[in-house]
Amino acid sequence: MAERGKFISFEGGEGAGKSTQARLLRTSLEERSRAVLLTREPGGSPGAEEIRKLLVEGATDRWTPLAETLLFLAARADHVARVIEPALAAGTWVISDRFSDSTFVYQGLARGLGMDAVRTLQRAALGDFAPDLTLVLDVSPRAGLERAVARGAHENRFEQFDAAFHHRLRDGFLSIAAEEPQRCAVLDGTASAESVAANVWRTVVERLAP
Ligand code: TMP
């Protein structure tokens, strides 16, 4: 039986550079002859990609915080059961652009559902399934939003929330990382992509010995 793969998530606010870093990390791991699956949330399985459209497009008040959370968890349950878990079991390393911490921070804190409610729902949907390593890319909300807006995607529902919302996101990711230092590492996301990638790689080597 193959040795189980490792599960790495990237987290951060809008425009933190997660997608770029996730791709660069995939390349570095492949250079070490690891089989790698790069995926994202919401999405990553056909059903979850359908749900993604409901969540990231449209008006900010399209969903109540509770309904929104349940949709994220429905997408995640499908993604984990059909894509992530089988890949890990086959020995593939999985990199996800966002995972559970985004739900704690966006829905629990910034949207105001509460951390306890998210914890209860998350446990019901996923049990204690969690990443082996979470890399939080930290940028100021202003710098991140400038990058996100420049990207010009139509998937901008969460970008439209006010500045206070985006400050809550940053504080939320930093406090989760402080509470779970074993699993999380915070990296400065404002440096050049190459230098952030070097930090990402150093952290992965230290923590997971790929
Ligand atoms: P992305 O822009 O990083 O692809 O993520 C899509 C949006 O969905 C982003 O604005 C963050 C938001 N999101 C949540 O609000 N909760 C979640 O659990 C996840 C995974 C994403």
Q: From the CA of 55, give the closest atom in ligand 1.
A: 8
Kindly state the greatest CA–CA separation across the chain. Answer: 50
Q: Does residue 55 contact residue 157 with C-beta atoms inside 8 Å?
A: yes
Using the structure block, give the residue that is written with the tokens 């890949």: 87
d(CA 120, CA 53): 25
CATH fold, domain 7-208, is Rossmann fold (3.40.50)
Q: From the CA of 18, give the closest atom in ligand 1.
A: 3
Residue among 64, 95, 102, 157 to mutate when testing ligand 1 (max atoms within 8 A of CB):
102
Torsion angles phi and psi, residue 159, rounded to 5: -65, -25
Q: Identify the bridge partners of residue 36 per DSSP, sorted by sequence position.
A: 93
pTM more than 0.75: yes
Angle at 9 between CA 111 and CA 131, to 5 degrees: 100
What's the pLDDT band for 2 if we cut at 50, 70, 90? Answer: confident
Torsion angles phi and psi, residue 72, rounded to 5: -60, -40
Residue among 84, 158, 161, 170 to mutate when testing ligand 1 (max atoms within 8 A of CB):
158
Give the pLDDT confidence score for residue 152 in this predicted structure: 76
Closest CA to 6 of 42, 44, 34, 41: 34
Q: Express each pLDDT in 136-185 by its tens digit.
A: 999 999 999 898 888 877 888 999 999 999 999 999 999 999 999 999 99
Q: Does residue 135 contact residue 187 with C-beta atoms inside 8 Å?
A: yes
Using the structure block, give the residue that is written with the tokens 């359908």: 50
Is residue 1's pLDDT more than 80?
A: no
Q: From the CA of 72, give the closest atom in ligand 1.
A: 18
**Domains of the chain: which residue ranges?**
7-208
